[in-house]
């Protein structure tokens, strides 16, 4: 059996949207939902002259958990919901909670973020470190568009992202748009170099067809659109996100530093996509 769906909350509007998304996904998958709040303590949090059985920070965190649990139960009454209050930095707590989980769901930006920030530091850290899919929920208005976008390239690293995207499309009955973006080599613009553009385009379409062939057979009921573009991958995926409910990207990052564990494409899509993004590490 798969692990639970983990959703982090801090009581912010973004976290509430994440709880709602996670409850919906728990209902689709039949998995339990675990709502997590992290409490980070410092020596100056509580004045020494005040002695309480339960300090203010803990009491507030329990209130946040109770409200999030009520939101999830009201939205999806049949989903099994549990809660956990865990001491530690939110980014580390949610990263660790991802071990054995089906996915970790978080908002784009919590209470601690800067107003102008497109993506919070917690979201970036968890997406770069968790070993399960991380869903960063961007609140949107209006009805569902019933379309999911997934990035496709010629490497095996995109296979986990394809698996997640096809599974989500099958559960939702949504169209799956497989976007493959390619760019001309720099020397292709040199007049002395002869390039057969038709051959290049045909080769790019072949990359997508070969990569998707096995998934077509596994999910014959999924309506699949092959979207091959001459563009930067971030630009292509961000543009496609405007007409969808979810963008799924793989992460090719191999660096030792936190931000480098996300590839440049996944970082760019997380910052600029117009809908929810799922990052699926290989």
Q: Could you identify the residue written with the tokens 């949610």? A: 94
CA 95 to chain centre: 13
- pLDDT class of 187 with cuts at 50, 70, 90: low
Specify the higher pLDDT residue, 165 or 125: 165
**Residues contacting residue 16 through CB under 8 Å, at least 6 positions apart:** 9, 68, 71, 107
**Cα separation, 251 vs 1, whole angstroms:** 25
Alpha helices by DSSP H, listed for the chain, are 13-29, 56-75, 90-97, 121-129, 159-172, 197-218, 233-241, 264-272
Specify the higher pLDDT residue, 130 or 40: 130
Of the spans 41-50, 194-203, 226-235, which averages the highest pLDDT? Answer: 226-235
pLDDT at 117: 41
Cα four-point dihedral sign 132, 133, 137, 138: positive
Going edge to edge, which strands form the sheet with 134-137? 81-87, 33-39, 5-8, 103-107, 134-137, 276-281, 246-251, 147-151, 175-182, 224-230
Write the CA distances from 191 to 73, 89, 198, integer angstroms.
64, 56, 17
- pLDDT class of 252 with cuts at 50, 70, 90: low
Specify the higher pLDDT residue, 143 or 50: 143
For the segment 213-222, the average pLDDT, to the nearest whole number, is 96
3-class secondary structure, 247: strand
pLDDT at 258: 42
Question: What's the whole-number average pLDDT of the chain?
Answer: 85
| pLDDT tens readout for residues 16-43 | 999 999 999 999 999 999 999 998 866 5
pLDDT at 196 over 90: no
pLDDT at 185: 62
Phi, psi of 118 (to 5 degrees): -80, -30
pLDDT at 239: 96
Write the CA distances from 235 to 74, 120, 143, integer angstroms.
38, 21, 24
Phi, psi of 29 (to 5 degrees): -90, -20
**Cα separation, 83 vs 65, whole angstroms:** 7
Q: Which domains does the chain have, with CATH numbers?
A: 5-137 (3.40.50.620), 147-281 (3.40.50.12370)
pLDDT at 51: 46
- pLDDT class of 200 with cuts at 50, 70, 90: confident
pLDDT at 180 over 90: yes
| pLDDT tens readout for residues 239-250 | 999 999 999 999
| pLDDT tens readout for residues 96-107 | 999 999 999 999
Specify the higher pLDDT residue, 73 or 185: 73
pTM reported for the whole predicted model: 0.87
pLDDT at 114 over 50: no
Which tokens go with 40? 């980070």
3-class secondary structure, 92: helix
For the segment 184-199, the average pLDDT, to the nearest whole number, is 59
pLDDT at 191: 56
Burial (0-12, 13-18, 19+ Cβ within 10 Å), 232 = middle
């Amino acid at each position: 059996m798969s692990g639970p769906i983990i959703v982090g909350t801090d009581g912010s509007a973004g976290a509430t949207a994440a709880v709602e998304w996670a409850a919906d996904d728990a209902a689709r998958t039949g998995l339990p939902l675990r709502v997590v709040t992290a409490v980070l303590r410092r020596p100056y949090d509580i004045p020494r002259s005040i002695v309480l059985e339960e300090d203010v920070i803990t009491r507030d965190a329990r209130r946040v958990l109770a409200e999030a649990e009520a939101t999830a139960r009201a939205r999806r009454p049949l989903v099994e919901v549990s809660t956990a209050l865990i001491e530690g930095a939110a980014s580390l707590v949610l990263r660790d909670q991802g071990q054995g989980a089906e996915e970790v769901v978080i908002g784009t930006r919590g209470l601690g973020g800067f107003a102008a920030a497109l993506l919070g530091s917690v979201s970036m850290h968890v997406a770069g470190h968790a070993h399960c899919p991380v869903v960063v929920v961007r609140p949107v208005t209006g009805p569902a568009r019933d379309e999911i976008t997934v990035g496709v390239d010629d490497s095996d690293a995109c296979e986990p992202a394809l698996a997640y995207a096809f599974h989500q499309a099958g559960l939702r009955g949504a169209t799956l748009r497989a976007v493959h973006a390619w760019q001309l080599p720099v020397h292709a613009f040199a007049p002395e170099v002869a390039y057969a553009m038709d051959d290049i385009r045909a080769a790019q379409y072949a990359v997508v067809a070969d990569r998707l062939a096995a998934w077509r057979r596994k999910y014959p009921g999924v309506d699949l659109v092959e979207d091959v573009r001459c563009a930067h991958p971030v630009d292509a995926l961000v543009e496609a996100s405007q007409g969808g409910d979810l963008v799924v990207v793989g992460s090719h990052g191999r660096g030792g530093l936190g931000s480098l564990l996300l590839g440049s494409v996944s970082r760019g899509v997380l910052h600029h996509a117009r809908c929810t993004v799922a990052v699926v590490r290989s």
